Amino acid sequence: MSDKTIGFIGLGLIGGSIAKALRRVHPEYRLIAYNRSRSSLVEAMSDGTINQATDVIDASFAECDFIFLCMPVSVNIQCLKKLKDLVPDTCVITDVGSVKSTIHEAVRELGMEARFIGGHPMAGSEKTGYTSATDRLLENAYYIITPTALSNPDKVAEMRQLVTDTGAVPIVLNCEEHDYATAAISHLPHVIAYTLVNLVRTSDSREGLMRQLAAGGFKDITRIASSSPDMWESICLENQGQLLKVIDAYKASLEDISEAIRENRGDKLHCFFEEAKDYRDSMPMKMKGSIEPAYEIYVDLIDESGAIATIATILASNRISIKNIGILHNREFQEGVLRIEFYEQDAVEKATALLSKYSYIIHTR
Ligand SMILES: NC(=O)C1=CN([C@@H]2O[C@H](COP(=O)(O)OP(=O)(O)OC[C@H]3O[C@@H](n4cnc5c(N)ncnc54)[C@H](O)[C@@H]3O)[C@@H](O)[C@H]2O)C=CC1
Ligand SMILES: O=C(O)C(=O)Cc1ccc(O)cc1
C-alpha cells in the first residue's frame, strides 16, 4: 500500500490505540493528531507515534487520506461541520463512536455521505486517555464498519485494510443493526453496571460494610462502571431510542424473575438460570471478536515472595511475551491464581508446556 497521511481528532484510549497500531505496522505513514489537552500530544510525539501535533483543528488535516474522529459521540458529530469546509472531498472521514445512526443522520444532513464511512471497534476498556492506549488493544476484536449509501467501494476496501492493519477484524453492518445490537450487548450492560453500583452505594451502611465485602462476582460485573461518565452520557443520549427499548425488555425480565421468586417457582427459576447459562457458555471465548482476553492461562501461585517474578522470568527468558499478568480471586479460584494473558495461542501452548515442566499447576478455561 502506498504512503498515507492519517489524521486523529481526539487522541485518547481509542484514537491513541489505533494510532499506535498503525505506527507499528506502517512506520512510513504520516500521522497527524489534534487533542484538547496538550499532554497526550506531547507523549505521542515523544514516543514516535505521531509526526505532527496540533492544538487546533486546522488546515493540516487537509492533507489526510483518512481522518479518525475519536472523541465522545456527540463531539464527533459537532466536528463534522468544521471538517466539511476544511478538508477536500478526497479525504475519508471516519469515526470510532459507539453509536452510529445519529452521526450518519448528521452526515446526510451535511451532504457528506460520499466522504464518510462509519466505524466502531468492539474493543476497549474502562480506562481512558492516551496513557492507557496500546498498539494491541484492537487485536482480534471485531471492528464494525458502517458505509453510507454513497461511500466509494474503493475507499471502503482501504478502510477495511486499515482496520486489518490495526489487528482487528472488519465486519460491515448498517447503522440501525449496529445500534440495536450494541444497545443490548454493550450500552444496557453499562447502564446495569452503573445502576447496580449506585444501588449498593445508596444501600450501604455508614461504615461501608457492602463496599468492604463486595467480592469477585460483584466486581466482575461492575468493572465497566469505572468507565468514563462523559463518554457514557453521550452514548446513552445518542442511542436513546434503541437503549430505551432494551431497558424496557430488561425491566420486563426483572418483573418475571421477581414473580418467580415471590411465588416460590423453583422450576421457573431453574429454567431461567439454565437457559442463560447455556447461552453464556456457548459464547466464543477464544475466537476473533471477543472483547474478553483470548489467550490466557491460570497458574496456581506458590505463597512465597518473588513467585510472580520467577514465572515472569521463566517466560521472558524463553521469549514468550506477556500481554497482562495479575492475581485473580473469584469463586472458581478461591485460593487465588495468577492469570497470564498472551498475544497468541502459540504462546499459551508454549507457556503451558514450559511451566508444567517446572511443576506449576496450570488451568485453562
Ligand atoms: N472506551 C472504549 O472502550 C471504547 C470507546 N469507543 C468510542 O471511542 C470514542 C473515544 O473514547 P475513548 O478513546 O475511550 O475516550 P478517552 O476519554 O480516552 O478519549 C476521548 C478523547 O476525546 C477528547 N474530548 C472529550 N471531550 C471533548 C470535547 N468536548 N472537545 C474536544 N475533545 C474532547 C479527549 O480530550 C480525549 O482525547 C468515543 O466516541 C467512544 O464511544 C469505541 C469503542 C470502545
Ligand atoms: O470494557 C469493556 O469491556 C467494554 O465493553 C469496552 C467498550 C466500551 C464501549 C464500546 O463501544 C465498546 C467496548
- For 296-363, CATH gives 3.30.2130.10
Residue 307 has pLDDT above 90, yes or no: no
pLDDT of 64 > 80? The answer is yes
Question: 187: CA distance to ligand 1 center in Å?
Answer: 15
Asked if residue 136 lies in contact with residue 294, where contact means CB atoms within 8 angstroms, the answer is: no
Lowest-confidence pick of 102-116, 127-141, 193-207, 283-297 = 283-297
Residue 295 is predicted with a pLDDT of: 83
Confidence of residue 344 (pLDDT cuts 50, 70, 90): confident
Looking at the chain, the whole-number percentage of residues with pLDDT higher than 70 is 94
Question: Is the CB–ligand 2 distance for residue 186 below 6 Å?
Answer: yes
Q: Mutation test of ligand 2: which of 73, 103, 194, 291 has the most ligand atoms closer than 8 Å to its C-beta?
A: 291
Beta-strand (E) ranges in 133-273?
A: 142-147, 169-172
- Using CB distances shorter than 6 Å, the residues near ligand 1 are 10-15, 35-37, 40, 70-73, 75, 96-98, 120-121, 124-125, 128-129, 228, 231, 235
Residue-range domain boundaries for the chain: 5-173, 178-281, 296-363
Return the amino acid letter for 74.
S
Average pLDDT for the chain: 93
Residue 98 is predicted with a pLDDT of: 98
Mean pLDDT value across residues 144-167: 98
| Distance from C-alpha of 325 to C-alpha of 327, rounded to nearest angstrom | 7
Q: Whose CA is nearest to atom 2 of ligand 2?
A: 125
Q: Which atom of ligand 2 lies nearest, measured to the CA of 186?
A: 5
Ligand 1, atom 7: closest residue by C-alpha: 97
Whether the CB of 125 sits within 6 Å of ligand 2: yes
Closest CA to 39 of 137, 132, 130: 130
* Residue to mutate, 144, 185, 188, 224, ligand 2, most ligand atoms under 8 Å from C-beta: 224
Q: Tell me, in angstroms, the distance from the centre of ligand 1 to residue 129's CA.
A: 8
Of all ligands present, the nearest one to the C-alpha of 75 is 1
Q: Tell me the sheet residues that pair with 339.
A: 298, 326
Looking at the structure, give the CATH architecture of the domain made up of residues 5-173.
Answer: 3-Layer(aba) Sandwich (3.40)
CB 102 within 8 A of CB 265: no
Q: What tens digit of pLDDT does each residue of 260-297 get?
A: 999 999 999 999 999 999 999 998 875 444 445 568 89
Beta strands in the chain (DSSP E): 5-9, 30-34, 52-54, 66-69, 92-95, 116-121, 142-147, 169-172, 296-300, 322-328, 337-342, 362-363
Is the pLDDT at 83 greater than 60, yes or no?
yes
Rg (CA), the chain: 23
Per-residue pLDDT reduced to its tens digit, 225-270: 999 999 999 999 999 999 999 999 999 999 999 999 999 999 999 9
Q: Which CATH architecture has domain 178-281?
A: Orthogonal Bundle (1.10)
Report the candidate in 298, 267, 294 with the shortest Cα–Cα distance to residue 283. Answer: 294
Residue 227 alpha carbon, nearest atom of ligand 1: 1
Measured CA to CA, the distance from residue 184 to residue 44 in angstroms comes to 35
* Through-space distance between the first and last CA atoms of the chain, rounded to whole angstroms: 39
Alpha carbon separation from 275 to 13, 259, 270 (Å, rounded): 36, 18, 9
| pLDDT bracket for residue 6 (50, 70, 90) | very high
Point out the ligand 1 atom lying closest to the alpha carbon of residue 76.
39
Instruction: Tell me the β-bridge partners of 142.
Output: 169
Atom 35 (ligand 1) nearest CA: 36
- Tell me the best of 71, 101, 227, 228 to mutate to test the pocket of ligand 1, counting ligand atoms within 8 Å of each CB and taking the most: 71
Q: Can you tell me which atom of ligand 1 is nearest the CA of 11?
A: 37
Indicate if ligand 2 lies below 6 Å from the C-beta of 124. Answer: yes
Q: From the CA of 129, how far away is ligand 2's center (Å)?
A: 14
- Report d(CA 300, CA 333) in Å as an integer: 9
